[in-house]
């Protein structure tokens, strides 16, 4: 089983509420790939916006800008890909999660700050979870040949960002090293108990660190396992190819020998007729 097979089974076995453009619409697939990373960056920008709404009674305007930009990015990517596929209605119907996400991101601008409204906090938590699912789904393409390096780099970046988040949100992590340690133990679900989240903001952040870290570490583990399996498969493939090359070389040699034999037979002089039976002919009486 190759890494691409694992990615395909992972995508097809989970009811994501998301669907790629049809495989026969090459232009739509290319456009979908072009939108992938800008959409991911826009969704990542909603993380500080979420905590700004949670920690401040009057959050800065950049929070609303981040939500609006992410919503417009998700909606534009969905519409552009569907339009290029020539099946806009089908593409929209196959991606209800993107529709929900785009509408929720725009709606969150109109909600009151999460620090003053429990309803707004719950809705933004649901929206953050949907955004997390969307980001994990978009990263599945990294499970491919050569994608292990990118996944390892992504895991390091995610753990680093989570460490910075704990460093800023948790008073019991006065240094960045403490924040990184808490991020690692939380993402790996180890839970040593030496440092734990104590504030509401850091506890909420810990929930997403567990989900995001579990998703990223799972992808890394799957990529490593697939890399080992693929190495064995490549060895077998090389042996099969070498055997095929030997057999093809043998066939070429035999075909060449047959051609030379046929050419020799064509160039040979025609055979002489056999002499008549019974010696010389007798004269008629």
One domain, residues 179 and 59: no
Is the Cβ–Cβ distance between 198 and 171 less than 8 Å? yes
| Domain identity same for 151 and 246 | yes
Q: 102, 118, 141 — which closes off a domain?
A: 141
Among 41, 3, 25, 147, smallest CA distance to 94 is for 25
Shared domain for 32 and 14, answered yes or no, is: yes
Residue 285 falls within a domain, yes or no?
no
Tell me which residue of 99, 125, 73, 94 sits closest to 15, measured CA to CA.
94
- Predicted TM-score (pTM) of this structure: 0.64
Residue pair 96/17 in contact (Cβ under 8 Å)? The answer is yes
Gap between the Cα atoms of 48 and 51, Å rounded: 5
- Six token digits for residue 164: 């910075």
Q: What is residue 216's predicted lDDT score, i.e. its pLDDT?
A: 78
| Half-sphere exposure in the Cβ direction for 283 (13 Å, CA) | 1
Tokens of 163: 């460490």
Both structure tokens of 11: 């995508």
Specify whether 154 is located in the same domain as 113: no
CATH number of the domain residue 246 falls in: 1.10.287.70
What's the Rg (C-alpha) of the chain? 34
Do residues 172 and 107 share a domain?
no
Q: H helices of the chain, where?
A: 3-13, 26-55, 61-85, 88-93, 96-107, 118-138, 148-169, 176-187, 200-267
125 shares a domain with 10: yes
Mapping DSSP to helix (H, G, I), strand (E, B) and coil, where does residue 284 land? coil
Number of domains in the chain: 2
Q: Tokens 């808490």 identify what position?
A: 182
Q: Which domain holds residue 4?
A: 1-141
pLDDT tens for the chain, 285 residues: list them: 544 554 455 454 445 678 888 878 888 889 988 998 899 999 988 988 888 888 877 778 888 899 999 999 999 999 999 998 888 898 898 899 999 999 999 998 888 888 888 898 899 989 988 988 888 788 776 666 556 777 788 888 888 988 998 998 888 899 999 999 999 888 888 878 888 898 888 888 898 888 888 777 777 777 777 777 776 667 777 788 888 888 998 898 889 888 888 887 877 777 777 766 655 555 555
The whole-number pLDDT of residue 142 equals 65
133 within domain boundaries:
yes
Burial of 266 (0-12, 13-18, 19+ CB in 10 A): exposed
Same domain, 68 and 154: no
Instruction: Write down the pLDDT at residue 3.
Output: 47
Same domain, 55 and 12: yes
pLDDT of the residue at 281: 53
Q: Are residues 126 and 179 in the same domain?
A: no
Q: Are residues 136 and 152 in the same domain?
A: no
Task: Look at residue 276 and tell me if it is in a domain.
Answer: no
């Amino acid at each position: 089983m190759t890494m691409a097979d694992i990615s395909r089974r992972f995508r097809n076995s989970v009811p994501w509420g998301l669907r790629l453009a049809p495989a026969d619409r090459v232009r739509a697939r290319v456009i979908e790939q072009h939108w992938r990373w800008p959409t991911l960056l826009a969704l990542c920008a909603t993380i500080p916006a979420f905590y700004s709404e949670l920690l401040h009674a009057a959050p800065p305007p950049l929070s609303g800008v981040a939500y609006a930009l992410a919503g417009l990015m998700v909606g534009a990517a969905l519409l552009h890909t569907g339009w290029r596929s020539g099946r806009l209605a089908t593409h929209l119907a196959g991606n209800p999660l993107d529709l929900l996400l785009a509408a929720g991101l725009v709606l969150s601008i109109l909600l009151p700050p999460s620090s003053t409204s429990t309803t707004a906090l719950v809705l933004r938590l649901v929206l953050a979870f949907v955004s997390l699912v969307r980001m994990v789904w978009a990263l599945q393409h990294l499970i491919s040949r050569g994608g292990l390096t990118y996944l390892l780099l992504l895991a390091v970046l995610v753990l680093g960002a989570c460490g910075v988040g704990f460093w800023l949100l948790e008073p019991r992590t006065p240094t960045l090293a403490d924040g990184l340690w808490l991020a690692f133990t939380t993402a790996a679900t180890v839970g040593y108990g030496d440092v734990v989240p104590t504030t509401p903001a850091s506890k909420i952040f810990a929930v997403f660190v567990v989900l995001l870290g579990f998703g990223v570490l799972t992808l890394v583990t799957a990529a490593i396992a697939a890399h080992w399996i693929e190495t064995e498969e490549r060895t077998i493939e090389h042996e099969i190819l070498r055997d095929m090359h030997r057999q093809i070389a043998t066939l070429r040699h035999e075909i060449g020998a047959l051609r030379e034999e046929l050419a020799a037979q064509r160039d040979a002089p025609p055979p002489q007729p056999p002499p008549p039976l019974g010696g010389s002919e007798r004269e008629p009486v």
